[in-house]
Chains A and B, each alone.
Chain A
């Protein structure tokens, strides 16, 4: 196989999401940006419902969207580790898609002032959490404990399980468990979520 041929082939491979994933995992940071851009569009499209299979369920579950993005974008067998990294990236991108929408909604509808629907405002004890409150709390946690925040991100936005989370972050299951527990306690406190 001549060098020209090989280059051509590499270029083709890298243009697909699967190729980008593998290229990124091989250390190419540009590939990461390309992949995130693709993911952002894809997740938005799936959320719009313009395409894509969806669970026969009445709620749009973000974890389902993330897994759907994986199914749609990654068309080849990839290693478990690569899959975990992809899902982690998709979870992060999902968060960005949601946050962008929530912020835009606030700007459009309320002219900058957003309505707070937090636990304490509700008449009945409920578990209502305002999305942007959550987003702000997540950002605060990130500055405090980046890894715990990341574990929460993968858990909530991407629906990754312990093994996938451990794989994606290169930590042990025990650490995932500990971070999740601490992170959730922190969120409960910050969001004042009452026991349900």
Chain B
């Protein structure tokens, strides 16, 4: 308690510091003048402390935390490594993972493997669960996923996993080291998506996607580690009901989804979509989502995506120190990336899992569209696209907005009834659709984010109403179902889209094919929905039938038919039948050009598709010719927006030689 300076003197320092720190800076000198009198040493002491009084500055806390955690990690590293783990001979310790220590080990001269010894209070039930899960994880086979080879329990009773040893660096580090541009980053990210998607199809959720779990090998191929391992140790087994369970379930909070952090809902594949969203944001902007949304932080509204500040150190703003309760409540990400890429990131980071991309494939497909600059082909009908974009922007509609939408659909139905008296039902339906769309995409349609109704509810109710009130109007029903199906697809609710589109086809048949052009469109939309899900085998015959029907009704030289054959081409392309796809793209492009005029964006997109497929077949000269054509066209359309066009070109040429 006694020090060299004397307790009495320090008490004085402390008192003056407290009073002065409560004063505005301008008032402090005067206060200290009178308070310290002629005691210059006292004044210096107080002033030096005041100069360091930065209550909002996190540097000290971060520095101290790192120093402490650093020593703790050294203690961990100094712990003796075992000689053997089960039948494996330990070669070296290669890391401290969140869940345990990883060793490089070998067995009977086989290639070395990574053995992860897991620390965890998992108990008897936990071990049983662990064994069951292990079996399932071992069945995951994908080049992008580090294989789980074996597992067991150490002599000390700790479970361990034996995994394929991956020699690589974390994905964020890899991107920084290689100074990858945004396009390459997105390509790499999409490969990660492929791997995650594969696991999701096997019903395995990663649950802990973060850069350190994604290693990129020297050849540039990414590999995910620890797939599903988080679940092995999660609290939904024996420990879940203990009062301290929540603190045990803390995941890497930087990447965990809100439902994981707050326990607000079941952990589904959507949690991975969220974590991928955080990763994507970091990879393409070099900044974490919340950094972009911090009000005080200056962010350019349109970061230059060609040359992002990747070399700059990653910004990781200090988090408030988590004390185990409610530390992260109310986290809302609103990344400030402009344009479609921003939209993609935001859609992956939606707080509500139901509003996120419905699957990793959807996220990946949107990125592909972004890269290929062909949103119009993905959402071919402009009005639907606009409506869907509107719905997307305003995923949380107020109850008022929901009412509004119901009124709109109701209005559509009312119109229909009067239209029954009119000579041509189809005109009415046209008008109905137009009204619906105009109202939905009105400029001041932005709604406040309150209330529980969502865009999905809104469309759900529309479907119900159409189903109920238009039972005796199958032709119109078919049309409206088609519209609503497109909206579902736009929301990423492909299952629902599919169901409603099927209904639309049934209604169309019940109407006796009177409006089979709508039937063709419905089939085509269904094919698109299936294609987005990667269900190419089912999509192909539908796209083919839609195209055939459309050709019969409106002829081949029609933009609608061209869109359909373009879709068919994309399906075949995805199925590896590039040779068949190329003429389809070329055909579609020619018709777009002929019917929509040479300067339509869809033409450039068609050219890009063709160029891509030529590139993939090794016809670089052909690809370049088409890419140049697309470039010329883009230049004409967008003036000399060279950045855009060069990117398109580099992207389709795919070999980095960008002609000037």
Contact = CB atoms under 8 A, between A and B. Distances in A.
Interface string A185-196: 111110101111
A196 B230 CA distance: 34
A185 B49 contact: yes
B14 interface: yes
A98 B54 contact: no
Contacts of B69: 59-62
B329 interface: no
B14 A49 contact: no
B79 A49 contact: yes
Nearest to A108: B78
B68 A56 contact: no
B490 to A, nearest CB: 35
B230 to A, nearest CB: 6
B64 A156 contact: yes
B230 A127 contact: no
B57 A48 contact: no
Nearest to A127: B63
Interface string A130-142: 1100100000000
B67 A143 contact: no
B75 interface: yes
B88 interface: no
Interface stretch (A4-12, A19-27, A30-38, A63-71): A63-71
A148 B76 CA distance: 30
Q: How large is the interface on B (under 10, 10 to 19, 20 to 34, 35 or more residues)?
A: 35 or more
A156 B68 contact: yes
B212 to A, nearest CB: 6
A76 interface: no
A130 B67 contact: yes
B306 interface: no
Nearest to B242: A71
Given A55-B250, A131-B71, A196-B58, A49 B100 contact: yes
A188 B54 contact: yes
B18 A56 contact: no
A17 to B, nearest CB: 16
A130 to B, nearest CB: 7
Contact of A49 (B4, B60, B71, B96): B96
Nearest to B244: A71
Most buried by A among B10, B51, B75, B318: B75
Given A50-B156, A61-B72, A188 B121 contact: no
Contact of B49 (A48, A105, A119, A186): A186
B428 to A, nearest CB: 58
Contact of A181 (B3, B21, B321): B21
A65 B72 contact: yes
B533 interface: no
B54 to A, nearest CB: 6
B208 interface: yes
B1 interface: yes
A97 B79 CA distance: 14
A71 to B, nearest CB: 6
B62 interface: yes
B324 A67 contact: yes
B66 interface: yes
B52 A49 contact: no
A138 B104 CA distance: 40
Contact of A129 (B64, B247, B323): B64
A196 B99 contact: no
A130 B101 CA distance: 25
A84 to B, nearest CB: 13
Nearest to B56: A195
A169 interface: no
Interface in A82-103: 97-98, 101-102
B60 A191 contact: yes
Contact of B252 (A58, A143, A161, A186): A58
Interface of B: 1-5, 10, 14, 17-18, 21, 48-55, 57-76, 78-79, 96-101, 119-121, 156, 158, 208, 212, 230, 233, 244, 247-248, 250-252, 318, 321, 323-324
Given A48-B76, A54-B120, A98-B75, 8 more contacts: A49-B101, A50-B119, A54-B119, A58-B97, A119-B63, A182-B17, A189-B49, A196-B59
